[in-house]
Amino acid sequence: MLTFKRAEKLSKKAAQIFLPVIDGKAVAPELAKLFQLNFEDELAFFAPSDKPLKAGEIFEIPVSAEGYKCERLAFVSLGKASASELRQAGAAVGRKLRGKSDDVYLHLDLKKDETKSFLVSANLGNFTWNLKSDAKTFTSNIEVRNGEIEVLKSAQLVSDAVNRARQLIHTPSNIKNPEWIARQAKKYANGAKVEIKSGTALKEFGGLRAVGGSSPKPGPRFIKMTYVPRKSGAKHIVIVGKGITYDTGGISLKRPYDIMIPMKSDMAGAAACLAVMSALKDMKANVKVTALLMCAENSISSTSQRPGDVITHYGGKTVEVLNTDAEGRLVLADGLAYAVKNLKPDYLIDIATLTGSATLGLGKQYAALYSRNLKWIKELRTAGDISGDRVWHMPLIDDYESALESDIADINHTADKGDFNAGSVTAALFLEQFVNGVNWAHLDIAGVGRAEADSGENPKGGTGWGVRLLLEWIGTFK
C-alpha cells in the first residue's frame, strides 16, 4: 500500500524521486540544480519530439548529491494531463512501487482535484493480494511536494476504501460466506450501526431465503449498516448491495464450468457498500446513509430453489422463478422492498454484478446506470467522470415490461416473455417493480466489477468499482 504526506522539499532520506512530465516538459528547477541536470536534454534523449510520451510511461536516470540517499529519478509522463491520463500515470507510479517499502518524493504541481485523482490511482495501482505462505506486506511512503493536507487525507481515505472492497472480493469463498461478510461489516463499521438478521428473522425475505437456502450452513444474512451525520434534517441515502458470496448458478448450473471460477466476486456490490460505509465517518459525510447487504450463497443442494418455484418477496409480491442463475435480482428485490417500507429514503440505489448483457452493451469501462430521475443521472455521471468510476445512462423501456408477465405469479423474474434481447434492461425493469415510485437508481456493474487482467488501476479480479463513485457523489451533499 501507499501512504501520503506533505513535503516542502526533497528529504535526504527519500530513496526515489518521481517527476511528472506534462506535454513533454518537466519543471523542477530546484531538483535540476541539486543534481546538476538539464531536464530538456534528458527528455530529448528519451522522448524526441516526433515520438511524444504516452501517459503512464516511466523512465529513470541515475542521480546523486552529497548527503542525499536518492540514486534514481523517474520521469513520469502525464500526457496532456487529462483526467484519464492522470489516472493512468498515477497507476503506473503505484505499480512501479509494488513490492517496495521506500520513502518516495513526488514532485507534483497540479490542481487539488488533479492531485487527488493521481494519488488515488497510485494507491489502486499498488494493490496486490494473495494467500501465499510467504506473502509479505509492503508500504511505501509518498512525500508529496506542497500537497494540501485535506487533499492527501481524502486521497488516502478513498483509495484505502476501494482497496478494502477489493480485499473482500478477492477472499476465496471457502473463507467468505454470508456470516463472514457480517463479521467484516462489524469490523469495518467505523462508527456505523450494524444490524444482522438470519434464520427465522428472515421469514419475510422470500428472495434472500430462496437463494440462500441452497447453502443452509451458515445460511443467508441481511446486514444493515447505518451512518447518521451530526447535521440534523439530512437527506437519507439507501444503498442496496448484491452479496452472493459464491454463485454456481444453482440447479440452473453455470456452463461451461470454468465461468464459475471467478464467481467469488459476485458479492462485489455488497463489498462496495461495506467499503463506502467504512469511510463515511472519516470523510464527515453530511448525509444519512444506510447500506443493506443482501448476502447468500447460490449453491446446489436438496434445499435449493427450483425453476418453476413461486416465491413471496418482502412486501408480498409473488415471483415465478424460471432460472436459478438469475439469483441476484431476487435478493436485491427484498432489499429494495424493505427500504421502501421501512427506511423512507430520499435516494435509493442498488449496485450489483447483475447481467452479462450490460457488458455486451458497454464493455468493461462503463457501468450501466438506470433511473428515471434525469437530474440525479447527471449528478452520478459527473461523479463518475471525476472519480474514474464512469457510468452510462441506459433506458428503462416501458414497452419491455410485458416480458415480466407470468401465468401463475405477479411477475416472472427473468423477463422471458417475448424476445426483446435486452437482458440488462429487463433486469432493471424487474427491480423497478419493488421500488413503489421511490427515487431509485440501479447500477449494473457486471462488466466493471471484475478485471480479466492485471493492468492499469486494476488487479486481476475484483476492482472495487463503485466506491469512488458513491463517495464522490455523497461528498457533494453539504
Please identify every residue annotated as catalytic: 254, 329
Cα–Cα distance for residue pair 163/173, rounded to 1 Å: 18
237 to each of 147, 273, 432, how far by Cα in Å?
32, 12, 17
Cα–Cα distance for residue pair 333/318, rounded to 1 Å: 11
State the CB neighbour count (10 A cutoff) for residue 419.
Answer: 7
Cα–Cα distance for residue pair 361/357, rounded to 1 Å: 6
Closest CA to 26 of 50, 12, 46: 46
Helices (H), 388-422: none
Cα–Cα distance for residue pair 92/122, rounded to 1 Å: 7
Cα–Cα distance for residue pair 387/161, rounded to 1 Å: 13
Closest CA to 384 of 449, 472, 279: 472
In degrees, rounded to 5, the angle at the alpha carbon of residue 154 between the alpha carbons of residues 151 and 157 is 150
Q: Provide the 8-state DSSP code for 218.
A: T
Cα–Cα distance for residue pair 221/219, rounded to 1 Å: 7
Please name the residues in contact with 478: beta carbons below 8 A apart, sequence gap of 6 or more: 286
3-state helix, strand, coil in the chain (%, to 5): 35, 20, 40
The residue to which cell 518537466 is assigned: 26
Handedness of CA 392, 395, 401, 402 (dihedral sign): negative
Cα–Cα distance for residue pair 332/336, rounded to 1 Å: 6
Closest CA to 227 of 196, 170, 189, 197: 189
Residue 62 cell numbers, joined? 541515475
| 3 state DSSP class of 351 | strand
Cα–Cα distance for residue pair 427/413, rounded to 1 Å: 8
